[in-house]
Structure 1
Amino acid sequence: MNEVWRAGARFPGGEAGAGIETLHAFSFGRFYDPDNLSFGPLIACNEERLAPGAGFASHPHRDTEIVTWVVEGELTHRDSAGNTTVVRPGDVQRLGAGSGVRHEERNEGQRPLVFVQMWLTPREPGGEPEYEIVRGIADRTPLAVDRAEADLHIRRPDAGTRIVLPDAPLLYAHVVRGAVRLAAAGTPGTGGPETLTGADGELLGPGDAARITDCRGRFLVAEEPSELLLWELP
């Protein structure tokens, strides 16, 4: 089965401060929905918009894997483990909080900043904090979040491209930009995926997400050049 969650259904956070707009896909902060706490180990998928000069002051995390994807602008990250980094579009950043870490995130640039931040629960608590950033990650190159047994796939399909979903127990697809259609496979012929058609599938636009619990025979078709974040989850 699959569930489509529209961008307009995200809960707007309001407690972060001036110049910050946050949209939550799961229960977060003062917003609580007992039927929308997580999807596998994924517990947050926040769309953040920061005006120039705005930011999140230093705050603590523990037992959380935090993965950040910048859509527009530049994000300045600092943490108590001594990492200071400017994250730009095309970079993917992971902060493993382990037994405890503090970090701050700010827009120190001159342009508005837009980023997507995703939190996952590790399979085991504790451990030393971990940090990594992949600059200009290539299409189809996964980021492995081993502590959560999850993989993030960055996809940038051109119009008409078909993406056959991995045969994962759970898959979370977030549309960053563009438009894609989620469809089930038809009867495959000898041509394999080339025989699939997605004309009758559900259309997903920016900010929309699909939560898929059976990926077999599922695929996405890009209606226009797009950018997707695909989580392969246990």
Structure 2
Amino acid sequence: MDVRRAGERYPGGDPATGIESLHAFSFGPHYDPGNLRFGAVIACNEERLAPGAGFTEHPHSHTEIVTWVVEGELTHRDSQGHESVVRPGDVQRLSAGGGVRHVERNDGAEPLVFIQMWLAPEEPGGDPAYEVVHGIADSTPYAVPEAGAMLHVRRLTPGERTAVPDAAFAYVHVVRGEVRLDGVRLAPGDSARIADAKGLELEAGAEGPAEVLVWEMSP
């Protein structure tokens, strides 16, 4: 198990324009050949946008982009004509396919925090696609078959335990609260990369509830 602490993430964004980013994987100017991907995951970014701030229109291709809003509201518009507002509890996915352009903004009155995860598809190309699942239930898996991956959202009460799926690759990201994984304490922003995951459990700390994103990935 490879544990990466929140403080080890690469800083990014543009604070002067209200954008602050933290990157768990090699990203942009922070090139690290030893930290390019784990399983299908090639990026796990924590984004913080001040009211009125956002990413102007930019392109993506050959990437599955899955977003989890922590606080605030994320406004999305893309070149395929999709426009939506994504809120806490929603799962958003943009399949870039052979190419798509999109805008991400905080058009709300409150600060916006979201986790955006990029996955490499098993086959490049194809048509772009877009989906939002509103208010996904706890323990309801969200499949991204194009990347051979499944997202599990875990909202744990103090002291509650939940299994980490047995998988060739499992990626665990703590959104809020504290948990223990195989006896190792993980705090918000921490992550764990587990190859050949078997028989592991997450346990929320006694201090309060926890929210965790877990990717289950095939070889």
Range into which the TM-score falls when normalised by the shorter chain:
over 0.9
Match of 2:211 in 1: 227
Q: What 5-or-longer segments of structure 2 have no aligned partner?
A: none
For structure 1, which segment, 10-19 or 119-128, has the greater mean C-alpha deviation from structure 2 after superposition?
Answer: 10-19
8 Å CA contact 2:14–2:20 kept in 1: the answer is no
Percent identity between matched residues is: 66
- Residue 66 in structure 1 maps to residue 61 in structure 2: no
Instruction: Tell me which amino acid in the other structure corresponds to 2:143.
Output: A
- Would the alpha carbon gap of residues 51 and 96 (structure 1) be closer, same or farther in structure 2, given more than 3 Å must change? same
Coordinate RMSD, CA, aligned: 1.0
- 1:16 to partner: Cα distance: 8.0
Quote the Cα distance in structure 1 between the aligned partners of 2:71 and 2:199.
Answer: 33
Aligned to 2:98: 99
Match of 1:217 in 2: 199
Query: Hey, what's the Cα distance between the residues in 1 that align with 2:181 and 2:13?
Result: 32
From the two aligned structures, give the one with the greater strand fraction. 2
Using structure 1 for the length normalisation, give the TM-score: 0.90
Match of 2:131 in 1: 132
Q: CA deviation at 1:17?
A: 6.2
- Structure 1 gap ranges (5+): 184-200
Under a length normalisation based on structure 2, what TM-score does the superposition of the two structures give?
0.96
**Displacement after TM superposition at 1:159 (Å):** 1.1
Counterpart residue type for residue 110 of structure 2: R
Question: After superposition, what is the alpha-carbon deviation per residue over 1:180-218, rounded to whole angstroms, capped at 9, x for unaligned?
Answer: 0011xxxxxxxxxxxxxxxxx111011000111132121
The count of corresponding residues between Structure 1 and Structure 2 is: 216
Given that 1:16 and 1:56 are in contact with CA atoms closer than 8 Å, whether structure 2 keeps it comes out as: no
Taking a change above 3 Å as real, the CA distance of residues 61 and 174 of structure 1, as seen in their structure-2 partners, is same
1:45 and 2:44 matched: yes
Give the AA of the match of 1:210.
A
- Spell out, residue by residue over 1:93-114, the C-alpha distance to the aligned partner (whole angstroms, 9 max, x if none): 0000001100000000000000
Provide the rounded CA distance (Å) in 1 between the counterparts of 2:13 and 2:29: 9
